[in-house]
Amino acid sequence: MLEVKILLEDKEMPKKWFNVLPELLDLKTPLEPPLDPKTKKPLDPKALEAIFPKALIEQEANMEKMIPIPEEILKVYNIWRPTPMYRAAKLEKKLNTPARIYYKNESVSPAGSHKPNTAVAQAYYNMKEGTKRITTETGAGQWGSALAFACNYFGLKAAIYMVRVSYEQKPYRRSMMQVWGAECVPSPSNKTNFGRKILETDPKNPGSLGIAISEAIEDAVTHSDTHYSLGSVLNHVLLHQTIIGEEVKLQLEKIGEKPDILIGCVGGGSNFGGLILPFIPQKKSGENIRMIAVEPTACPTLTKGIYAYDYGDTAGLTPLLKMYTLGHKFMPPEIHAGGLRYHGDSPIISQLVKEGLVEPKAYHQKEVFEAAVMFAQTEGFIPAPETAHAIKAVIDEAIKAKEEAKEKCIVFNFSGHGHFDLKAYDLFFENKLTDYYLEDKYIKEAEKIVEQI
Ligand SMILES: Cc1ncc(COP(=O)(O)O)c(C=O)c1O
């Protein structure tokens, strides 16, 4: 019988995260350090202690190849991990493709996505160092609910700034955060100076991840018991997500498979990084593994952005990161994949794209929802709109394999379910979704913005 569900036993769950940083040292494109926004010199890690616990600051630049996962974190991971990997046999049949398609199902976590892999680790290290309250931003609400779940587990308060357009599109994500005891406010909000300033000139501002990050940081630095937490982009976040790729390696080994293509959607790069980074040593040693990073055409950071130093937030409070960016003032159109509406990207993923090890690809939201519906009607699981971007690329690659009559092993990350995104599915069926093209004038503006830094 065809093995459709590939499981690991609890005792097989990896006990270490994979640290890609040592692997990046000999690439032609160097991984540039974060810069202090005031001096424009490499950042003194001590400057981050106002917002992050020391353990996470240390992980940002750690050079050990594998980093042991603390026992307390493993215990929480074990609530839903190891996660299943499935063979998408019915999708393969529908596409009549010779490709074998596998997906790692990260939607089985309590919050419904991969985000708790880092939320749990971040809440744990904060709790250990005496933090009482954590602030963060959330786009789609997946990250906010993951952090709410993790803070509740470790007895911390959480204050979550949710991008206003998503707050209105997805009221039940807010409910979920409240169930776990977190406070969730629409951003821009009246709670911070930065939020108030935006609302004064533009009371209907839909918000963006960049604005919500600025608000969450301002809240953290103005409360002495409070730290800030970022759900993507930074090295330590991608590190925590590598448990995904470490499990996938074991699962593929079990069935004697080797991946030809790895695919994930990219907002800030954490679920994609979590899947692909553990395969980087193999790729560097010459194994032919394609790695495809998928983003929306409405916010095409990797496919159209500029590789330059930029702020991670709109107000310009964060250190400067070397990354692909559309400029920190970029206001992405109101697409339904809220978690992919980010102007920048992870410096690690940006470096891998620049180096040519990762291929970026962008899709419009209508074709993405078409792919999501095909997946749900074959495989059963309803994907989050973010995840559906990866699915569209998978379907395209499977069709290409058929045209070329080539057997390919395609593995993708099913980063989250879409149970709170059904309004977007309704709009798709009513033919009310809009596709957005990013005109070149925005790229010119972005160039000007990063030049002025
Ligand atoms: C389900 C899901 N997938 C993917 C993403 C994109 O984030 P990242 O690129 O950090 O994985 C998000 C972000 O909110 C998400 O909710």
Please say whether the dihedral angle defined by the alpha carbons of residues 273, 277, 278 and 283, taken in this order, is positive or negative: positive
Please say whether the dihedral angle defined by the alpha carbons of residues 20, 21, 23 and 27, taken in this order, is positive or negative: positive
| CA-closest candidate to residue 410, choices 95, 101, 103 | 101
Please say whether the dihedral angle defined by the alpha carbons of residues 418, 167, 131 and 316, taken in this order, is positive or negative: positive
Kindly state the helix (H) or strand (E) to which residue 187 belongs, with its residue range: strand 183-187
Give every CB contact of residue 283 below 8 A, 6+ residues apart in sequence: 289, 291, 357
| pLDDT score at 335 | 83
| pLDDT score at 72 | 98
Which residue, by CA, sits nearest to atom 4 of ligand 1? 386
Which atom of ligand 1 is found nearest the CA of 237?
Answer: 10
Peptide bond just before 188 cis, omega within 30 deg: yes
Backbone angles phi, psi at 202, to 5 degrees: -145, 80
Topology classification of domain 5-13+67-112+242-451: Rossmann fold (3.40.50)
| CA-closest candidate to residue 275, choices 310, 230, 314, 245 | 245
Ordered by start, the domain boundaries in the chain are 5-13+67-112+242-451
CA of 337 to the centre of ligand 1 (A): 9
| pLDDT score at 197 | 97
| pLDDT score at 1 | 62
Give the integer Cα–Cα distance in Å for 437 and 359: 20
Give the integer Cα–Cα distance in Å for 76 and 120: 7
Which residue, by CA, sits nearest to atom 15 of ligand 1? 339
Residues with CB under 6 Å of ligand 1 are 113, 139-140, 142-143, 232, 265-272, 339-340, 384, 386-387, 415-416
Give the integer Cα–Cα distance in Å for 142 and 279: 26
Contact 97, 401 (CB under 8 A): yes
Give every CB contact of residue 303 below 8 A, 6+ residues apart in sequence: 295, 360, 361, 362
In the predicted model, residues of the chain with pLDDT beneath 70 are 1
CA of 407 to the centre of ligand 1 (A): 29
The length of the chain in residues reads 453
